[in-house]
Each structure stands twice: as C-alpha cells, then as structure tokens.
Structure 1
Amino acid sequence: MSFPSDIKNAMRDCILKLLWPKDDIVAFFKSNSCTSSDIKAIGDHKTMNRSAIIDTMFNQLSKKPDEGLGQFRAMLQSLINWTHFDPYYFDNLKKLNKADAERSISHLKQLQELRDHKIQEQRKERERKESEAKFPSNTLPDLKAKFVSLLQGKVVGARRGYDLEEILQSLAKLSNLDITEPFRVNGEQIDGSIKFDGEHYLVEAKWQDKAVANEGAYQFAGKIEGKMYGRGLFVSIHGFSDHVVSSLVAGKAIKTIFIDGADLIVVLEGFIGFPDMLNKKIKAAQTKGLIYIDAMTGKQKQ
C-alpha cells in the first residue's frame, strides 16, 4: 500500500513553509522515525537546497519494502497538529510566512479528512460484503439437490468441478466456517481454503470419471509444501486409486486429508455435520496416521 502522492506533496509544501534551517528539516525527519540509514541516504544536506533534502528523503522512504508508511504517517500527524511557528524565522528574519504556513496545514488537513472518509467508506463496503458472504444463500436440501444433479450427469465437463467447489464453500458457510474463494498464487490454482479449528486448509476439488491417481495427489501435496503449516483437504468424488494413500503417507509428514463423494453424501443427507466430518478425519490423521477414513464409522477405506 503506497502512501497517497497528493498527501506527500502537501506534506512537502508544509515542511518548506514551516522549517527554514536545513538542520531543522533533517531533525524533523529524525523525530518522525526516520532511521540513521535513511538520514545517511540524504548525503551532505548542507550542500543541498531545502526542496532537494525533502525530495531525497521521500524517495528513500518510498523505496523501502514497507514504502515508508510508518514514517509518512508519523510526519503527517506531526504536520496537521503543528502549532509552533519559530518567531526568529517567521517574524525577525521573515524567511517564512505564518499565513502561508497555516494555509498549507489547513490544506493538508482537508486532504487527510477526505482520505479518512474514503477509507471509512471502503471499510464499510468491505464489511458489508464480508457480512453477506457469511450468510449462505443455499440450504442443505438445496445443496443435496445440486449434488444429486451432478451425479445424474446433468452437468458435464469442467463445470462439475466448479459446482463442487461451490457446494463445499456453501457447506462451510452453513457451518459458520471461514472460507477463501478459489485463487491463483505463483501459477498454482487453489480451489479455495477452509478455516477449521484455527487452521487453514487448502482445498482441491476433483470431479472426474475415475479415481484420483498418484500424480494428482502428488501435485496437490506440492501445492501444500511451501505454505506455513500447510494442510489440505483433497475432495475426489470417485475416491482414490489403489496405493495412492500409502504412497502419500509412507515416510512423510501427514498434511492432506482425503474426502470422497460418499463422505459428502452423508453430510448432505444430514447424518453428520460438515464440521463433525472434518473433525473425525483430522483426528484420525493426527492420532492414527489415517488420511482416508469413512466419515460415519471412522474405519480406514481401501
């Protein structure tokens, strides 16, 4: 997030109209969290004009990884609350004009107020959308009917996978679980994520006409690797091929839970809640090393 350029320009104008000595300008930067390395980047400020000192510091801050947001905000607060007009430079030497300085401060305050109002409106809109997203638009019977229609082949091709993703998201919403919609990161397609019991689980949703083989499982495992405390839920409607489970867990850290169409059916039928199903599967993986169990009986599949 970059600091607004119009506010930076107004801050620059304020500094020039409030501070005359070059040393005072540098001292202002120091008093507003600019580090010694930031100050050093200015160079010999005594040989520079006042505008160049400010421009050099602003450019230095903008190049930092955090784009100097903390320092710019500190300077902004200092300037809009400014009350000291050094009589030596304003009255005696008349290098600075108090009326001009006050107008600059007033202009900066107006820009800040407009920015704050815009941020508040954006936050309200974001909160409204987040609130709407938490309330599912489908009931459990609706989701069951949609799932059955997929089983009946009323939808074909890639659309089935997208519909499966929507069913999973809606189940999570019905269970008051936080979700993240599908996204791409570093070229990887992620079918969303579900937050359960304080942990985020990446989701892979597959609706294909055959059981998932080793390759698909390994690809998903690769997506989980490299994520902090990476965990995953692999949903395959037609289950998983022989040996895929054993090959995924043999000698490896368990990070993936397998879910198939039968598991979803018992949830959609209302025999077990979605969180209960997740809890059973996660508990089996954590306590027994089993990543593919029956959601009702708890017995290992395959």
Structure 2
Amino acid sequence: MVKVALIRYSADVKRCLKDCLLGIFYKKDDLICFLRDDCGCTNADLRGIDSSLIKSQIVDILYGNIDERGNSGKMQLHTIIQNVLQWSDFGSYWFKKEALNAEEAKKDIERLKKMIGEKTKEDERVQELHRRKAEIEAKRLKQQTLTDLCESFSLLAKMNNEAQERGFAFEKFLQELFGFFDIRMEKPYKLIGEQIDGSFKLQGDNSYICEARWKDEPSTTNALYHFAHKVSTKNLYPRGAFISVNGFSKEAVHMICQNNAPNIFLIDGADLVCVLEELISLPDLLYKKIELSQTRGEIYVSSRTILSTSS
C-alpha cells in the first residue's frame, strides 16, 4: 500500500486523480456513491453535485469544495487518493462491456502511485531537512545556555565583597544549572525555624535536601555535622547534597565518614567546573557520587577521580 503524506498536492496530481476517477466509473451515480460511502465525503464536500452534471464537472466541484475546507479538506483528498490507489475491481460490468478501458485505468492508477510516491519521498526529504535544522538549532541554544552559565559562574567568583548578594546569585545559578539538565531544584523554604536551601529529585521519587555555600574558606566539620543532622531528621528527605564551592576540610570529611551513616554526599566548585566544561554531565556526576556514598561510605570523591576511574 502506498503511504499518502499530509502534503499539498499539485495540480498535476489532482488531474491524474481525476483521470483515475473518470476511468473507473462509468455512471455518475456510482462516482457520487463512491465519494460519499467509500471515501466519507460530507454534504459540504458534495455541495452542488448531482446526477445532472457530467462526471468531469462533479470532480471539479468536489475539488473546489475540498479546497475551501483547508486542512480537513486535505485529509479528505488523502482518503480519496488512498481508495483510488487500492482500486482493484476491473472485472465489473462496464469494463467487460468495454465502456471503460481497464488497461488505461490501470495505467492511470500506476501513474498516480508514482506521483504520490515521489511526493511522499520529497515530503520525507523536507521533513528530514527540518529535523536536522531543528537539531542544529537545539544544539546551538544548548551551547549558548552553557556558555551563559559559565559566564555567570565566573562573575560569581569575582563577587568577593558581596557575600549575601553572591549567595542569592549562586542559588539562582544552581537552579539554572540543574534545570539545564532537566533536574528540578525546588526553591528554599523553612521547616519549624530551619532554613532548607532547596531540594531536588533524582532516581524517580528519591528526593535530596540541598544546601549550597559559597564562602572563602572550605566548609568545616560543624557545618557538615549540622547538615547531616538536618537530613537525618527529615522523614521526607532522608538524603542530602552539600555544595561548597571552596570545598571541604579533610578533617570535616573524615569526621563525618567516621561518625555518621552516609546519608549525604558532597559537591565542590571543581565538580561544577567539570560539568560546565562538559567533561561529565550533572546527572552522571550526581549518580556516581550517590553510588559511592551509599556503597562505599565515601561522601566526597572528586569528579576528576570519577572520570579517571571510569575511563
């Protein structure tokens, strides 16, 4: 069966279809019945058509009515074409009486098949061209967004004397970075006096509390203890990610690993840079850090180490 693409058919195709219709129907009533009963033409499609007209006029009026319907008319034309292409009744009375020429009718249908096939291939070629253009544009926009994120991160690094403003800007940056990778980060909120910097969902319904800091010094043991305790007391969010641009003191990481179950994992600025430089995607980085935290109790493994061990 020849596939009929949803395209605008040329006048040549319509003329060929008309030849086919005139070639397979001898009686005008049979043509009208075919259009109405087999092709589903509506009263609007058949408006102004009756048996007082010659067959050629019937087809011309049909085309005019269909054109007025726009896209729905195109669908109707496709249906008529499909039914004609499937026509196989060349042994009927009028063919046997040679009032209709079966060989000529078959040639017209084959000609229509060829024309439709060429149109379908051309339409597929155009669609493929549009698809490729869309892919190129999507890649361009993606690269531009990543470039903008890199610039935002660089600007944040220069805000040395504006700690509070940088904190708010860093929060926005993280929301945009996570959103770039289709990970929704919820905005900060409070629970009974506690400030929760945000949360995000990963691995289905698994949620992670997220605390982010941009301070001039590495995060200390007290900061990690406080965050780990905050995470452990939340039934809805029993896991957490602590983001500290300037990293964590070795003592802090060691103490948390020694005295707490691995319910958190750590991300530093170097990890974010690897993501921005497209050395690793954010989802891959998060999945690997979660895996190492839960299976080995290693709450901090640098992205460079992750990349070197996975290559």
TM-score by length of 1: 0.51
User: CA offsets, 1:18-61, max 9 Å, x none?
Assistant: xxxxxxxxxxxxxxxxxxxxxxxxxxxxxxxxxxxxxxxxxxxx
2:201 to 192, 195, 202: 195
The letter for the 1-side match of 2:297 is G
Residue 211 of structure 1 corresponds to which residue in structure 2? 218
d(CA) in 2 for partners of 1:156, 1:262: 22
Instruction: Give structure 1 stretches of 5+ with no counterpart.
Output: 1-135
Q: Between the two proteins, what is the percent identity of the paired residues?
A: 39
2:302 to 270, 275, 294: 294
Q: Is the 8 A contact 2:274 2:280 kept in 1?
A: yes
Q: Is the 8 A contact 2:210 2:240 kept in 1?
A: yes
Structure 2 residue 171 is the aligned partner of structure 1 residue 165: yes
Residue 277 of structure 2 corresponds to which residue in structure 1? 269
Between 171-180 and 275-284, report the one with greater CA deviation: 171-180
Structure 2 residue 228 is the aligned partner of structure 1 residue 221: yes
Q: Aligned to 1:211, what secondary structure does the other structure show? A: coil
d(CA) in 1 for partners of 2:254, 2:287: 21
Q: Aligned to 2:207, what secondary structure does the other structure show? A: strand
C-alpha change, 1:155 and 1:144, in structure 2 (3 Å) is: farther
Instruction: Give structure 2 stretches of 5+ with no counterpart.
Output: 1-141
Q: Is the 8 A contact 1:164 1:207 kept in 2?
A: yes
Q: Which runs of 4+ in 1 moved over 3 A?
A: none
Residue 53 of structure 1 corresponds to which residue in structure 2? none
d(CA) in 1 for partners of 2:220, 2:266: 13
Q: Aligned to 2:200, what secondary structure does the other structure show? A: strand
Q: Is the 8 A contact 2:245 2:269 kept in 1?
A: yes
d(CA) in 2 for partners of 1:241, 1:294: 13
Residue 257 of structure 1 corresponds to which residue in structure 2? 265
d(CA) in 2 for partners of 1:154, 1:224: 30
Q: Is the 8 A contact 1:280 1:295 kept in 2?
A: no
d(CA) in 2 for partners of 1:167, 1:244: 26
C-alpha change, 1:155 and 1:172, in structure 2 (3 Å) is: farther
Residue 34 of structure 1 corresponds to which residue in structure 2? none
Structure 2 residue 244 is the aligned partner of structure 1 residue 248: no
The letter for the 2-side match of 1:254 is P
d(CA) in 2 for partners of 1:171, 1:275: 11
The letter for the 2-side match of 1:200 is S
Cα deviation, residue 206, structure 1: 0.5
Q: Which has the larger radius of gyration?
A: 2
d(CA) in 1 for partners of 2:249, 2:270: 15
d(CA) in 1 for partners of 2:200, 2:161: 25
TM-score by length of 2: 0.50
C-alpha change, 1:197 and 1:191, in structure 2 (3 Å) is: same
d(CA) in 1 for partners of 2:234, 2:275: 29
Could you say what the CA RMSD is over the residues aligned between the two structures, in angstroms?
2.1
Cα deviation, residue 152, structure 1: 2.2
Aligned residues: 164
Structure 2 residue 296 is the aligned partner of structure 1 residue 285: no
Q: Is the 8 A contact 2:189 2:195 kept in 1?
A: yes
Q: Aligned to 2:304, what secondary structure does the other structure show? A: coil
Cα deviation, residue 139, structure 1: 1.6
Q: Is the 8 A contact 1:149 1:155 kept in 2?
A: no
Q: Aligned to 1:264, what secondary structure does the other structure show? A: helix
Q: How do 1:108-127 and structure 2 match up within 5 A?
A: none
Q: Aligned to 1:247, what secondary structure does the other structure show? A: helix
d(CA) in 1 for partners of 2:304, 2:227: 25
Q: Is the 8 A contact 2:243 2:267 kept in 1?
A: yes
Q: Aligned to 2:218, what secondary structure does the other structure show? A: coil
Cα deviation, residue 155, structure 1: 6.7
Cα deviation, residue 162, structure 1: 1.6
Residue 59 of structure 1 corresponds to which residue in structure 2? none
Q: Is the 8 A contact 1:181 1:192 kept in 2?
A: yes
Cα deviation, residue 171, structure 1: 1.6
